[in-house]
Each structure stands twice: as C-alpha cells, then as structure tokens.
Chains A and B, each alone.
Chain A
Amino acid sequence: MCGPLPPDNHRSGKPVTAQTFNRMTPYLFLAPAAITMAIALLYPLGYMVYGSFRDWDPSQNISETDFVGLKNYITLFFDPAFRESLSVTLIFAFTVVVAEMVIGVGLALLLDRNIRGISVLRTLFILPMMIAPVVVGLMWRYMYHPTVGTFNKTLKSLGFDGVDWLGQHALLSVIIADIWQWTPFILILALAALQSLPASAIEAARIDGATAWQQIWHIKLPLMMPVLVVTALLRLIDAFKVLEVILVMTEGGPGLSTEIVALRISRTATEFRELGTAAAMSNYLLILLLILTLAMFAIGRLQDARTARLARQVQEEEG
C-alpha cells in the first residue's frame, strides 16, 4: 500500500453499469437534500412571489384569487404603518449590531489573556444564545415588569422611581435584551480571531515599543478586520430574523413602536388575513436580506483576492 495509484486505474476494468453508477454518485448523494429544499424552500419562495401579485385571502385556494399586478407592493410602499415597521426594523438591526460589535470586540480584547478557566467562561457566555428566544423574551418581560420586575424593584429599593421599560422605552428595552443575548456571539468569534493572529506581528510591535493601545489600534484590529466584517454582516442578517423575543416581550407595541417587519408579516397574515399583502411584505424583506448576503459574498471575494495578492507579493520579494 505504498505510493499513490493513478486515480482511474481501478475503475478501467469495471463494466459500463458501474461507470454510470459512479457518474451518478454525486447526484444520488445530493438528491435527498435537493428534493427537500426544492419542495419546502424554493417552491414556497416561488409561491410567495406568485402570491404577492394576487388578492389573496387565507380561506381561498390560490387558483381562485385575482391577479392585481403590483397593487400590493404599491399599497405597502405608501402605507405609513409598514414604513414605520420598516424603520423600526432598520433602527433595531443596526443599533444592536453596532452595540454588539463594540461591546463584543472590546470585551474580547480585554479577555484575550492567558487565564485559568477560560473555557468555563466561554461555556457560560454561550448560554444566552442557546436558550429559546421565547424563553429569553419571557425572562426579560418579567425583569422589565413595571411592578413585579427585577429592575424596577431594585430601582425602588434604592429610592429611585421605576422606569416604564416596555411602555415608553420599549424599543430600547428590546434592544438591550438582544444585546444581552447576542453579544457573546461576537465576543467568541472575536476571541477566536484574536487567538489566531500571528504572534510575531504583535511581538514585533511590542519590541518596537508600541503601547497596548497602539497594538490594538494598529495591529490587532486591522488584522482582525476580515473576520469582523463577516461577523457583523452575519449578525445583521440574523438581526432581521428576530421575532420571538419581541413578540413575547411587547407583541409589537405599544402602538407600532416595536413592530418589526417579521412581526408585521405574521400579523398581516393571521390577524388582518391579507395573505397577498403579507407575501409582498415578505418579498421586500427578502430583497433587503438578499442585498446584504450579496454584499457579504462580495466582501469575502475581495478579501480572498487581497490575501492572494499579498501572498504573491511576499513570495516575489522572498524569491
């Protein structure tokens, strides 16, 4: 068994059927996944696009519905409630991502030390994001409760007035809960990125007399940037998916102040029973996320190209 055999050697003697079988192998491996995704993801998405051009009621079969062209999209575009929920979604998503990135990366820089029990620490930190969003919403709704809740009880026992968390400051409260749940995600990815940085670069900077702050600002952060950008985009895409936490905490209220698009879709479909409009709304959300995903791919490609170019340069200089 020493030395590689020519790859096709063992195949040549086999009958034709075996060769066809070999050619079919990748498709056989792929078939179950392709069929499932086609039936339960791609077909529904196509169905949604089709349905978004129709006046569609939940009791109707889609073949009985009327074609209304772009009506659903245009109505939504001028619908102040939808615009409101779109802006709430954007504010929510960008605020949580920025806050989580700043806190997460900051903590990662602080925690990137050789300390005992770092793995226990990481275990405790991933706890919040493993727990069901429904349960997270439940815990925070309790803590924010105006009279029973932990925060107001503590405030009152210290002699302050209670805060109307889920009333006046609903959006902020929801944002805080999301930051609690997902900052550890950034923290852990940033820690992993930090620990895979080339030790030589940091060592060199230290020998040259760079302060800790200079090391972070000029060496560590730029080197981590590729991972950080992808992490931020991943988190941003996920932030648009958040629904259950907000549903349990505020049900979108008071008024429309925390009604993100995902929640509005579900209400339009179930409460207002306008499936066509809900489908058009879903499509708007999908297009938004598609743009973000494409941006992530593009950035990934650019970074790959840049690394390849740098590697080539280094090789040329050395060779």
Chain B
Amino acid sequence: MDHERQNPAFYALLAVLIFMSVGPVLLMFVNSFKLDVDIIGGTTGLIFLPTIQNYETALCDILWYELDHLDFCSLKFGGALINSLIIALISTGLTLVIGCMAAYALVRFRFFGRDTVSLTTLTVRMVPPAVLLVPVFGLWNNEFCIGKSTLVGGWIRDMFGGRGDVCLAGTHSGIIIIYVAMNLPFVIWILQSFIVQVPRSLEEAARVDGAGPFQVFFKIVLPLIQPGLAAAAIFTFRIAWNEYLLASALSDRNTKTVPILIVNNMSEFNVEWGVIMATGMLLAIPPIIFTLFASRQIITGMTAGAVKG
C-alpha cells in the first residue's frame, strides 16, 4: 500500500484532533494521581508528586492493608465495582445468547409473525432509558414480587433475611433483566447482518449430514459470526457498565453500581476531585481497554448498526 505525502498543515490538523479527543481523558488520568492540593493549586503543569492515594481511598473497602491517611472508609467503591462487574458480565452473556438465537430465527426461517417481531424489535430500539424509568420503578417495586407468605418467597426471606415481599427491585437480577431487554433489539439487529452473510449451503450440507437445527446453529453458524458477536458483546457491555439512571432507580444499598457512586459523590457541595477522578478512571478502564484492542470490531459494529438504520 502506498502512502501519499501530505501537506504539513494536514499533520498539524491531525495532531490537534488527536489532542482534542484524547486530551480530556489524559487530563483525568493525570489528575487522578494528584492530591487535591495539587489539583486546586495554581500550577496546571505536569510537575507534581504522583501518588496512588486517590485510588487507595476509592478502593478502601477491598484493600487488604490499613490506610494511614483515612480514618473511616466512607466510599464503598470496591463493592460497587464488584456489583458493576457482576451485572455487566451476566447481562452481556445473557443478551448475546438470547439475541443471537433470535437473530438466527429472524434471518433463516419464514414463519408466522416474523414481520411483527422484526418490526417491534426495530422500533423499541429507540426507547430511551428515561422513558422506562417510571414503569420499571413501579413494576419492579410493586408488581414483580413474590409474596413473603408463599413457599418460594418465605424460603428467600429465611435464607437471605430482609423484610416485606420479595421484589425484583434492589436485586442484581432486577437490574440485569432490564439491561438484557434494553440491549436485545440492538444486538439482534447487528447479528442479523452478520448471519445473513453465512452461506446457506454450509448449513444445508450439515443438515444433510443429519444435524438438527440446534446443532447447525451452535456448530456452524456461531463460529462463523464471531466478529459480530465480539462487536455486539462490546456494545452490550458498554451500556450495562456505563448505565446510571435505571440502576439508580432499581438498586439498593448493597447493589449500587459504580456510576451511581460517582454521581452521588459529584452532587455534594465540596467535590473531592482527586478521588472522584480516580473512580472515574477505574470506571473508564474496561471501555478504554476494549477500544484499544478491539477497535476494528467496534467500528464494524457501528457501521453495521447504522447502515440499514
């Protein structure tokens, strides 16, 4: 491949663009290693003593050693990080499995109700989380419950403690199910465009050899759409990992995720910039890693998701 020589102004433009897109992230990264005194103090420069104290404060509840600078661990960030991981990983896994089965059915079979399903899937893609806030809050708290006097409900109350009826709200599963449902339309849509490209003859050959529809799906189709699965996984994980609004409505003290923690600490009058930037950095690390190692898949997914609206 030949590379044209470009005008120096062009490289200057590139440098400015890179600086603009990466600058704020770098700024947060650098600040997360500064003490608040250094952040607020006059110098903007890079001359400061880097410290991991902010990260220690953030992660104080899961560190194995005592911290000298902290009397009381008020920020339960470690627990939130674990909640975030559980919720994001499980919901990504579920969405992918359920989503690619549905996408396969929509692409490969002609059946009654196919158009309705496919149109519904496309339309619900536009539903914003804010619209789901009210009904989900009501349903998860009041309707999707098991009475504490029933067998299962009583058992759960005996096992895990707590009062009142057993409801979806406040549990990991409550948040996971809404994330799965929210991400399904997009995942189904993206995977459809990948499954269409799997040559039909391959599947037919396998069928002739006596494979059932599920075998064909798992042994032939799934391995071939791996790039699509990777893209879908990253997008689903990103939403589940980053989402704030629904999680804040549905979680209780023990199921808080990281974004909730950050927002709660931001809205207070006196913001501890160093610590908050360290938490922000910790939240941003997984997406940054994905971006650096799987940008090709992300771009494929983005284009596939947009090309046919």
Chain A interface residues toward B at CB < 8 A:
1, 4-5, 7, 10, 22, 25-27, 29-30, 32-34, 36-37, 39-45, 47-48, 51, 56, 58, 61-62, 107, 110-111, 113-116, 119, 121-128, 130-135, 137-143, 147-148, 150, 153-154, 157, 180, 184-185, 188-189, 192, 227, 230-231, 233-234, 237, 240-241, 243-244, 247-248, 251, 261-263, 265-266, 269-270, 275, 278-279, 282-283, 285-286, 289-290, 292-293, 296-297, 300
Contacts and interface: CB of A to CB of B under 8 A. Distances in A.
A139 B266 contact: no
B180 interface: yes
Contacts of B287: 130-132
Contacts of B177: 36, 39-40
Given A114-B3, A127-B22, A285-B130, A138 B204 contact: no
Given A37-B124, A296-B309, A138 B44 contact: no
B124 A41 contact: yes
A170 to B, nearest CB: 16
A52 to B, nearest CB: 9
Interface string B238-253: 1001101100010000
A18 to B, nearest CB: 9
8 contacts: A36-B98, A37-B181, A45-B124, A51-B134, A116-B3, A282-B130, A293-B123, A300-B308
B134 A126 contact: no
Contacts of A286: 127, 131
A189 B132 contact: no
Interface of B: 1-4, 6, 10, 13-14, 17-18, 20-22, 24-25, 27-28, 31, 39-40, 44, 97-99, 101-102, 104-106, 109, 111, 114, 117, 120-139, 142-143, 177-178, 180-182, 184-185, 188, 201, 204-205, 207-208, 210, 213, 217, 238, 241-242, 244-245, 249, 259, 262-263, 266-267, 273, 276-277, 280, 283-284, 287-288, 290-292, 295-296, 298-299, 302-303, 306-309
